Amino acid sequence: MATATTVTAWNNALKQYYRPDEVRKVVYDSHPLMELMPKDESFRGKNAPVPVYFTRPQGVSATFSTAQSNASASKIGEFLMTRKTRYGVATISGEAVAASEGDRFSFLNAMTTEIDGVLRSVGDSVATALYRDGSGAIGQCNASVTSTSLVLKNSNDVVNFEVGMELVFSATKSGGSLKSGNVTITAINRSTGTLTVDALSAIAGGSGVAANDFIYMQGDYDGLLTGLEGWLPATAPSGGDSFFGQDRSTDATRLAGQRFDGSSGTITEAIIEGAALTAREGGKPDYMFCSFADFVNLEKTMNAQVNRQVQQNDSISGYRSLEFFAPHGVVQVVPDKSCPSGTAYLLQMDTWSLMSIGPMVQLTELDGNRVLRQSSDDGVEVRVHSYANMACEAPGYNCVITLPS
């Protein structure tokens, strides 16, 4: 068992090694949207209002008396933002603790792999959530379900899964209930999008999993931050919509973004049409995010319409982008492994923010300690957390584009 003096030395070593910039390097790696989106680390209190201006004053006319009689104030909506939590825990066994007693560098070597791993796991899950709707779903089953395996409806969603992950299922994406039981992933075929699990018969009292069931990490159902799919739904919100307390059906464009279905045309046409829609509302998008498969398709088809290719060597995520001309300037097209295939998001980045208490993802300190004794074992643990959500002050300046398959 480590002494108090030893634990203090380990805490000091971790504080020196895992400074905020180092944590960001690990978390943002391969996640360009999370890296590029503006950050607001001052999300204090129970909630935070985000005003959205969606109707101008109406006191305008060719005659003064009419302008005066029709005068009305601007309509300003409000999204009342709340936070979502994300946790990760890295552990080191009592044996490893004993082996590194009195040698903080041996401890760091033993712990760095585990801490980097849990930082990447939390970062990966947050990066995926940035593209989703908050339901927690990270995939969906197709009809190929056996007693020990299932195939993902969208094979590109395989990036969201890891061997050892505990999964649960629901027939409804959000607002319903989970099927009883859970399974563990034992193998993954990343070429076919096939997950092998221990026993799907453990789900729903033996009824198992059905085609089109939604898949979640255990504990995540309706529990993740609200990402682009929630803010920019492909289907316009209807009456009675309550999104962070705001009925967006009042003006589904300015309160829930632009949407363009380009599934029947070419990928180039879809992007041009989406850019034109945002320009009509006054939006000036500067980035578009898509999956790697859609990025390759775009790269093959745009040819002369591409302004140039850009390698962002100064970025943590190391992304490469294409640039193309849109009505209000140049747009960088960035591939992101977390973006669902078949969907692109055209964004004016200064309308967005990742709101959090402190850094988006950080190591937990309790009473100044990062290294904590495990209550149920003889080892120690390091915890990681995120208290955050995504916000947009002008959804109408952004667009979701359904791409051709």
pLDDT digits (tens, 9 = 90+) for 326-335: 888 889 999 9
243 touches 233 (CB < 8 A): no
The pLDDT value given to residue 17? 86
Q: Which two tokens stand for residue 108?
A: 């760091």
Give backbone dihedrals phi and psi of 60, rounded to 5 degrees, phi first.
-130, 130
Give the Cα separation of 238 and 373 in Å (integer): 51
Statement: residue 1 has pLDDT above 60:
no
Side chain identity at 379, as an amino acid letter? G
338 touches 127 (CB < 8 A): yes
In 100-184, which ranges are continuous DSSP H helix?
A: 104-129
Which phi-psi region, left, alpha or beta, contains residue 317 (left: φ > 0; alpha: ψ -120 to 50)? alpha
* 201-214 residue pLDDT tens: 889 877 789 999 99
- Average pLDDT of the residues in 352-368: 93
**Which residues on neighbouring strands pair with residue 391, listed in sequence order?**
353
268 touches 302 (CB < 8 A): yes
What percentage of residues in the chain have a pLDDT greater than 90? 62
389 touches 363 (CB < 8 A): no
Summary count for the chain: helices (H), strands (E): 10, 21
Statement: residue 8 has pLDDT above 80:
no
401 touches 274 (CB < 8 A): yes
* 232-289 residue pLDDT tens: 999 999 988 999 999 999 999 999 999 999 999 888 889 989 999 999 999 999 999 9
Please report which confidence band the pLDDT of residue 173 belongs to, taking 50, 70 and 90 as the band edges: very high
* 94-135 residue pLDDT tens: 887 777 666 666 777 778 888 999 999 999 999 999 999 999
Please report which confidence band the pLDDT of residue 4 belongs to, taking 50, 70 and 90 as the band edges: low
* 41-93 residue pLDDT tens: 999 999 999 999 877 778 788 888 888 888 877 778 899 999 999 999 998 88
Statement: residue 5 has pLDDT above 80:
no
Residues shown for the chain? 405
What is the rounded (10 degree) CA torsion for 187, 23, 352, 247?
60
333 touches 295 (CB < 8 A): yes
Q: In the predicted model, what is the mean pLDDT of the chain? A: 89
* 180-195 residue pLDDT tens: 999 999 999 999 999 9
The pLDDT value given to residue 92? 84
Residues 6+ apart with CB under 8 A from 64: none
- Average pLDDT of the residues in 18-32: 92
Q: State the first-to-last Cα distance of the chain, in angstroms, to the nearest integer.
A: 57
Helix %, strand %, coil % of the chain (to 5) = 30, 30, 40
The pLDDT value given to residue 64? 86
Give the Cα separation of 29 and 248 in Å (integer): 34
Residues 6+ apart with CB under 8 A from 254: 52, 54, 55, 281, 394, 395, 396
Which of 151-155, 315-319, 354-358 has the weakest average pLDDT? Answer: 315-319
Give the Cα separation of 139 and 161 in Å (integer): 9
* 273-319 residue pLDDT tens: 999 999 999 999 999 999 999 998 888 887 645 555 655 555 666 67
